[in-house]
Structure 1
Amino acid sequence: MITIIAAIANNHVLGKNNQLIWHLPADLKRFKLTTTGHTVIMGRKTFESLGN
């Protein structure tokens, strides 16, 4: 099974200046809970933004 997770604004924007367009701690927590223990495919800049 493949699951896609994306945060997209009403105007179809994914991000701006290599940043998310909003910061919602509950949303980030849900992403972590959903993806922990699974393979995640992402771009280089997203990977680098996660830190260690």
Structure 2
Amino acid sequence: MAKQGKEKNTRNKSKHTELIERIKNKKRVKKETRVERLKAITKAAQEAAKKANE
């Protein structure tokens, strides 16, 4: 049988879900920007090494 009355904890669960999603998105963005920054650094280092060898 289903429970009678209003649902319990739905508001808190939705707030928690939004918070967790925000945190996951923030971590994902940080990881992506870090990878892009490292790629740029390695590319610059390779170009500098290439110019030094010439």
Bin the TM-score by the shorter chain: under 0.3
Which structure would you say has the larger RCO, counting Cα contacts within 8 Å and 6 or more residues apart?
1
Larger radius of gyration: 2
Richer in helix (by share):
2
Tell me the TM-score normalised to structure 2 length. 0.26
Tell me the TM-score normalised to structure 1 length. 0.27
